[in-house]
Amino acid sequence: MIERFPGAWLATVCVGLVAGMASAALAGPNTPPVASILSPQDGAGYTAGSTVSLAGAATDAEDPEVRLAYQWEVDAVRSGGDRVRVLTFKGKNTSFVAQPGNDPGTGYEIRLVVTDPGGLRDTARVKLGPGAAPSPDPSSYPLGPGDKVHVAIYAGGEKQEDFTADVSPAGTLTAPLIGEIPVHGVTAFEVSNRIRQILARDYFVDPQVLVSVNDSCPAK
């Protein structure tokens, strides 16, 4: 076919190239992801020998979260400014033990680098200082009546819902689309999974749900 109809073959190739270029143009340029560190909080403290939990999240306009690559980098920063890498880890969540050694003024710089399939990346940073207990991991906090919870739902590269709601006296949370769900005694991470499963079953393809506790009620 190529030898007998070279002109037709060339035209077909050209049409294919033009169609591919048009599709790429319609898709728009690739944009970098947005990385965020859920735990620990910036400026929090630590005590020697304590375990610091690292939890991250990210969004991307073109790609679902499951296609993003996460890497944690933790440097110990000595009083004199010297840096020592204490952790490099690929994944969304991990932890490390704070061991300042003979320098009680050691701080930690924690970075979360998120890279999309196209190679674009974003880096979130927080710093820990010595002398105070680490902030509790919000993803492990058990919810109860009176807690104020923030929920952000992403699907198709866009934010679909963003709302804040109080846990009711009955221990339930009311969410758009899905109504009331029981949350008493479960963590924000577990609530995120529950909402994601319901949305994936009934509403969206590969939704991503971020749940955080804005304010907690001391009386449980």
Give the domain CATH number at 195. Answer: 3.30.1950.10
Instruction: Examine the domain organization and report whether 147 and 70 are in the same domain.
Output: no
Domain boundary among 105, 134, 163: 134
Do both 122 and 148 map to the same domain?
no
Residue 131: left (phi > 0), alpha (psi -120 to 50), or beta?
left
Per-residue pLDDT tens listing for the chain (220 residues): 444 445 554 444 444 544 444 444 455 689 999 998 888 888 888 888 888 889 888 888 888 888 999 999 999 999 888 999 999 999 988 899 998 888 888 999 999 999 999 999 999 999 999 875 545 555 567 888 999 998 988 887 788 889 999 999 999 999 988 899 999 988 888 888 889 899 988 888 888 888 888 755 544 4
In sequence order, the β-bridge partners of residue 130 are: 46
Q: Which residues is 209 bridged to in the sheet? A: 153
**Using an 8 Å Cβ cutoff, are 72 and 79 in contact?**
no
- Do residues 106 and 190 both lie within one domain? no
Provide the pLDDT for residue 210. 84
Q: Is 152 found in the same domain as 114?
A: no
H-assigned helices in the chain: 6-27, 188-202
Contact 85, 63 (CB under 8 A): no
The predicted structure's pLDDT at residue 104: 86
User: Which range marks the domain in which residue 53 is found?
Assistant: 34-134
Question: Please, what sign has the CA dihedral across residues 125, 131, 132, 134?
Answer: positive
| Residues 181 and 194 sit within 8 Å (Cβ to Cβ) | yes
A 10 A CB-CB count for 194 gives 19
Q: What confidence score (pLDDT) does residue 157 get?
A: 72
Contact 148, 164 (CB under 8 A): yes
Domain shared by 128 and 44, yes or no: yes
pLDDT of residue 211: 85
pTM, full prediction: 0.55
| H helix or E strand, kind and range, residue 181 | strand 179-182
Give the CATH number of the domain where residue 64 resides: 2.60.40.10
Q: Are residues 108 and 123 in the same domain?
A: yes
Residue 8 lies in a domain: no
Shared-domain flag, residues 63 and 130: yes
Are 38 and 139 a contacting pair, CB within 8 Å?
yes
Asked if residue 17 belongs to a domain, the reply is no
